Amino acid sequence: MANRSYHHGDLRAALLEQAGRTLREKGASALSLRELARDLNVSHAAPSRHFKDRRALLDAVALLGFARMAEALAKADPGPEAGFRARLEALARATVDFAVSERELIALMFSSKADTDALDDMHEAWMRLAAPVYAAIADGQRTGDVHAGDVERIAYSAFFTVHGVANLASIGVIPEADIDQALGDALDHLVRGLRP
């Protein structure tokens, strides 16, 4: 890839944008502050003003991923008037679509261990991401589509099911032609299991 010259403005944003490109093209193992500085034509020391080390960079990229995924789920959520199954399906589809289109990013988001400095931010990012699922479960309980119980624990079970499909689809274990069927089957079992 040709070097992109960085001239002015927000170096942190430019570093994160370039990190996203590198992640998509080469994977997380290729991410380094030194290479990002070279790509942006800034001094090797310049990135250290924004990221203390590679781990801090990876955490920042993961946080952006959580924000983007949360936005995708919020946008996909048709709301309670759509009905529980349709709402759950829309959120699940958005999750799978995000995972398939952002394979390296989703792997980083859910497999990396955050620095202790980033743990609170990661928790907040997770809560924003999970909010539409929690809302769907709580609304499903009110309409009688979901059994009584702790909303967070029930939502985690739903997440585990959908994330399993998303992960397997993102790495190609579930072929693209079979994703809809696999997701539909998983949701059928999940919805049956959630009924009172």
Q: Over its length of 196 residues, how does the chain's per-residue pLDDT go in tens digits?
A: 444 555 456 888 899 999 999 999 998 888 888 888 898 888 888 888 888 888 889 999 999 999 999 999 999 999 999 999 999 999 999 999 999 999 999 999 987 676 677 788 888 999 999 999 999 999 999 999 999 999 999 999 999 999 999 999 999 999 999 999 999 999 999 999 999 9
pTM: 0.86
In angstroms, how far apart are the furthest CA atoms of the chain?
Answer: 61
Instruction: List alpha helices for 27-150, DSSP H.
Output: 33-40, 54-76, 84-101, 103-111, 119-143
| Nearest-5° Cα angle at 180, 176 to 184 | 150
* Neighbouring C-beta atoms of residue 175, cutoff 10 Å: 9
**CA 118 and chain centroid, separation:** 16
Q: Can you list the domains of the chain with their CATH numbers? A: 1-51 (1.10.10), 52-194 (1.10.357.10)
Contacts of 38 (CB under 8 A, 6+ apart): 3, 44
